[in-house]
Amino acid sequence: MTGLFSGKRMLLLVAALAAVAVLAACSSDGDDNSAPAATVPTVEPVAPMTGNLTTPDATAVPAAPAPATAPVMASRPKNDRVVLGLIPPSALSNSFRNLGSTSVFPLKPIYEYLMDTDPNTRAHIPGLAKSWTIEPNGAGIRFILEENIPFHDMDGNEAGVMVADDVMWTREDIIHETSTSSIRSLMRRATPEVVNDHEIVFRWEEPDADALDFIANQVGGMEISSRADADTLEAGVLADRPVNGTGPYVFKSRSQEQNIIHTKVDDHWRIPGDFEEIEIRWLSESSTRNAALLAGEVHLTTIPFDDEPAALRAGMKIITGKVNTMRTFMQMQGVYLKDASDPSSGFLYPDSPLMDKNVRHAFNKAINRDELNTAFFFNLGQKMTAIHVAESHGGYNARWATEFDDKYGFDPAAARSLLADSGYGPKNPVETNLFLITVTQYSGGEDVVESVGAMWEDIGIKVNYLTMDRAQRSGLSRKLQLDNHVTLGVLIAPPILALRLGHHTSSPRGGGAENYDVERLFQNARTSLDLAVQNRWLQEATDVIYDEFLSIPLFWVPVHVVYNPEVVDDWVFPGTVSGTYTHMWNIIGTR
């Protein structure tokens, strides 16, 4: 297959925006499964990214530990301001009501969350809440807030202090009738109680595993803002500026479709930003971002892999996200339950070849992942041994790696034998439909799809290549009208959310293959706030997905940025959910 890839190189864009656009449609409604009381934060870290982006064949070296927040620097950086050249999000607004989890990042420097996220591990750490506990019935979270934390206005002046009522206001704004916030459903189902100025409880009728990540600076969505300041603005408009926050930067200005600028807060209570000013400049085209970087007009940006050697020769350097969460995989569409609560009802498309375990197994055995990694990922992709759960996550099962080569490893002869066992052969080939799609992350996504299709054709599978408008394809998928189709998937999300999107019947459906055992096991995981309980059920659900070949895992792909070392010295960011667009206050200037 080497000749097939000759001359092809994927242009990897790591601005992970579209990867989780589906999050805005997510909700969580499950059976009651109360968990024992637990004290958090106890989130298990996921695998750190490794690799050397300067040479495709370099040996991976683990990233060195770094502080959870930006260190206090003894001197000022050479430059007072840093400019990030980024792809604009799908929505630009000063109001969180109009922003989803992948569109909120331009405002992140001016806000804080009840829980922060450690940029090295993705673990939850204290933020505006200095501690939190799971309620005894397992269906609520009690937050103890920091005291005397100031809000700041546009001039950097203190403008009141944060109390529980501001958390309550933030929730009210999220659930407003005009809101399109990613966590509006979660917060609408919550019953909040203000105990006092520094204690607030959120309760649900049943536990919701998504709650911790959605409340934290992880998925994003609950950026705490000032009720007093909001009351001075025209409700629902906020055309001039966002509501005051407690973050290490304050909003300065915005030129719609061009840029947004934030200025540093002096003596922030927790996070000492390094640059006096952060500008986020919107540059949609990769060639424009590359040219701006080389011209010194922007100092941090994302460019395709193929452009990086020239940037490196010009003196630029590369920083990689610390956490391994950007997945590339193939999802099989057509294995859908008729009624998730009634196993006797069977499946919507019982005659689909995807219903055959041998076919699903053959699909996996026919793929030469090493060839794909070399041809399209510069050998930087880390092989995904189980769909969505990284190797150092608390729910990971070591046997998935041990058995991977035997179960999933490249073996065309074994793949043909599996098909023959199910009655398929040259005179009766198995047939499937493969979407040729482009995705935000890959300018060469169609090359990956065609290469996988060619590998399947080599073992006798008849592949029908389909081109379809994304909206049309999504519509058919959500209506469960795809009965024998395979699609390239790219997703950045915590495992609990990724599995819900791909292998569970809660809305939105239409992702990967469903299974009654997975449905039951994962329901137990998603209705617990206890992380030990979540991980146990998450592992059992993934065991079934793994053993039944309900997915086609490919790679964990590094999220990275190219930077100008004359201006930037380092940036510790996790690379989760919104790609590089978190922890901007951790950008350290060159001295």
Whether residues 301 and 381 fall in one domain: no
Whether residues 388 and 240 fall in one domain: no
* Predicted local distance difference test score (pLDDT) of residue 72: 55
By CB atoms closer than 10 A (0-12, 13-18, 19+), residue 207 is: buried
Whether residues 317 and 420 fall in one domain: no
Domain for residue 181, yes or no? yes
Domain for residue 75, yes or no? yes
Whether residues 174 and 307 fall in one domain: yes
Q: Helices H, strands E: what count in the chain?
A: 17, 24
With a CB cutoff of 8 Å and minimum separation 6, the contacts of 357 are 548, 549
Whether residues 218 and 140 fall in one domain: yes
Whether residue 167 contacts residue 143, with contact meaning beta carbons closer than 8 Å, is answered with yes
Whether residues 237 and 276 fall in one domain: yes
**Among 418, 397, 391, CA closest to 407:** 418
Give me the count of residues in the chain. 591
Can you give the pTM of this predicted structure?
A: 0.75
* Cα–Cα dist 126/443, whole Å: 38
Whether residues 154 and 289 fall in one domain: yes
Task: Write the CA distances from 448 to 329, 371, 458, 471, 491, integer angstroms.
Answer: 10, 11, 16, 21, 16
Whether residues 396 and 472 fall in one domain: yes
Q: What is the CATH number of the domain that holds 195?
A: 3.40.190.10
CB atoms within 10 A of CB 86: 25
Whether residue 456 contacts residue 363, with contact meaning beta carbons closer than 8 Å, is answered with yes
Dihedral of alpha carbons 72, 76, 81, 85, sign? negative
Whether residues 565 and 537 fall in one domain: no
**Residue 283, domain extent:** 34-58+67-321+560-589
Phi-psi region of 354 (alpha: psi -120 to 50; beta: other; left: phi over 0): alpha
* Cα–Cα dist 227/249, whole Å: 19
Domain for residue 11, yes or no? no
Domain for residue 7, yes or no? no
Whether residues 302 and 386 fall in one domain: no
* Predicted local distance difference test score (pLDDT) of residue 444: 65
Domain for residue 28, yes or no? no
Domain for residue 19, yes or no? no
Q: Which residue in this structure is represented by tokens 């959605």?
A: 214
With a CB cutoff of 8 Å and minimum separation 6, the contacts of 121 are 45, 46, 48, 322, 323, 574
Q: Which residue in this structure is represented by tokens 């206890």?
A: 530
Task: Write the CA distances from 165 to 141, 192, 226, integer angstroms.
Answer: 16, 11, 9
Whether residues 260 and 354 fall in one domain: no
Domain for residue 205, yes or no? yes
Whether residues 369 and 448 fall in one domain: yes
Domain for residue 16, yes or no? no
Q: How far is CA 428 from the centre of its chain?
A: 41
Number of separate domains in the chain? 2
Whether residue 161 contacts residue 152, with contact meaning beta carbons closer than 8 Å, is answered with no
Q: What is the CATH number of the domain that holds 382?
A: 3.10.105.10
* Cα–Cα dist 486/469, whole Å: 15
Locate the DSSP E strands across 146-238.
150-152, 158-161, 191-196, 199-203
Tens-of-pLDDT digits for all 591 residues of the chain? 433 333 333 333 333 323 333 333 333 333 332 222 222 323 333 333 333 333 222 223 233 333 445 555 568 999 999 999 988 877 777 776 667 666 778 888 999 999 998 888 888 899 999 999 999 888 999 999 999 999 999 999 999 999 999 999 999 989 988 888 878 888 999 999 999 999 999 999 988 887 888 898 876 679 999 999 998 887 544 457 899 999 999 999 988 889 999 999 999 999 989 999 999 999 988 899 999 999 999 999 988 777 888 899 999 999 888 876 678 899 999 999 999 889 899 999 999 999 999 999 999 999 999 999 888 877 878 899 998 888 878 899 999 999 999 999 999 999 999 999 999 999 999 999 999 877 655 556 788 899 999 999 999 999 999 998 888 888 899 899 999 999 998 887 778 878 888 898 887 788 899 999 999 998 888 888 888 888 999 999 999 999 999 999 999 887 778 999 999 999 998 876 555 578 999 999 999
